[in-house]
Amino acid sequence: MKIKVIKNIMVLFREEEKQSIPLLEYLEMNGLGIEELVEDEAMNGDFIIEIELEDDSITWSYDVHELEETSQVNFMVYFICKWKWIWEWYSERFLEHDIKFNVYPTIIDYAKARIRPLELMEEQVLELEGYTKEDLIFYYGSGPFDDFKKADQNLNQILEFDEINNKEKMREEGLYFDSEMDRWIDVPASLDNIGEAIRKLSIAR
């Protein structure tokens, strides 16, 4: 069994017969988010994913509207969520703002710790403080609000139809078999590089 370390992830976009360019550059040029792009039924193009491994590289492409087989979610959205959720579950942190997981007794505590930027957090907390206790429970539940549990639920979605991977192997051995790459990935050794690439793509959704 050969185990690989992910060194870099690059995602390109090729619109119809045009030359491929980095996806983030294409989105910025056209004022789009990833979900806006994939939901545009008139759009024709392909995503190209280039994975650099420590002694190997893999490239594959798929149509902008292609769905992941088991989840029936757009493949690019699935790809981002999969690696984001693996990174968060293994790191016990939130990828986009690098906040440690915690358990919060109330939704207001949760908002203060989780929502960024700070201006948005203050606005949301002020709104929540205007609710009665009963309304907070009705709309958000009684708590506690557990980041660890949520990360576990997210990973369950990735592993639901997976006959190779499981949480025990991922946690104890740090190994994940990626079916798209057809490679065993050393998760802890790849975390920094996965995080750097997927963070930018997740923000661009």
Mean pLDDT of the chain: 94
| 62, 120: one domain | no
Number of domains in the chain: 2
| 88, 128: one domain | no
49 within a domain of the structure (yes/no)? yes
pLDDT, tens digit (0-9, with 9 covering 90-100), for 76-110: 999 999 999 999 999 999 999 888 999 999 999 99
Question: Cα–Cα–Cα angle for 190, 1, 60, nearest 5°?
Answer: 60
Q: What is the pLDDT of residue 199?
A: 95
| 113, 174: one domain | no
% of the chain exceeding 90 in pLDDT: 87
13 within a domain of the structure (yes/no)? yes
| 123, 170: one domain | no
Q: What is the pLDDT of residue 205?
A: 83
| 79, 7: one domain | yes
The Cα 50–Cα 138 span in angstroms is 46
| 116, 35: one domain | no
| 88, 110: one domain | no
Q: What is the pLDDT of residue 132?
A: 93
152 within a domain of the structure (yes/no)? no
| 119, 190: one domain | no
Q: What is the pLDDT of residue 116?
A: 83
Q: What is the pLDDT of residue 114?
A: 84
* Mean pLDDT on 181-204: 95
157 within a domain of the structure (yes/no)? no
* pLDDT exceeds cutoff 90 at 70: no
98 within a domain of the structure (yes/no)? no
83 within a domain of the structure (yes/no)? yes
| 134, 88: one domain | no
pLDDT, tens digit (0-9, with 9 covering 90-100), for 121-149: 999 999 999 999 999 999 999 889 999 99
Q: What is the pLDDT of residue 37?
A: 95
* pLDDT exceeds cutoff 80 at 1: no
Which one has a higher pLDDT value, 1 or 22? 22
The Cα 107–Cα 115 span in angstroms is 11
Confidence of residue 115 (pLDDT cuts 50, 70, 90): confident
53 within a domain of the structure (yes/no)? yes
76 within a domain of the structure (yes/no)? yes
| 84, 115: one domain | no
| 48, 126: one domain | no
DSSP 124-178: HHHHHTTS-HHHHHHHH-S--EEHHHHHHHHHHHHHTT-SS--HHHHHHH-EEEE
Range of the domain at 35: 3-92+164-203
* pLDDT exceeds cutoff 90 at 152: yes
| 52, 21: one domain | yes
pLDDT, tens digit (0-9, with 9 covering 90-100), for 33-67: 999 999 999 999 999 999 999 889 999 999 999 99
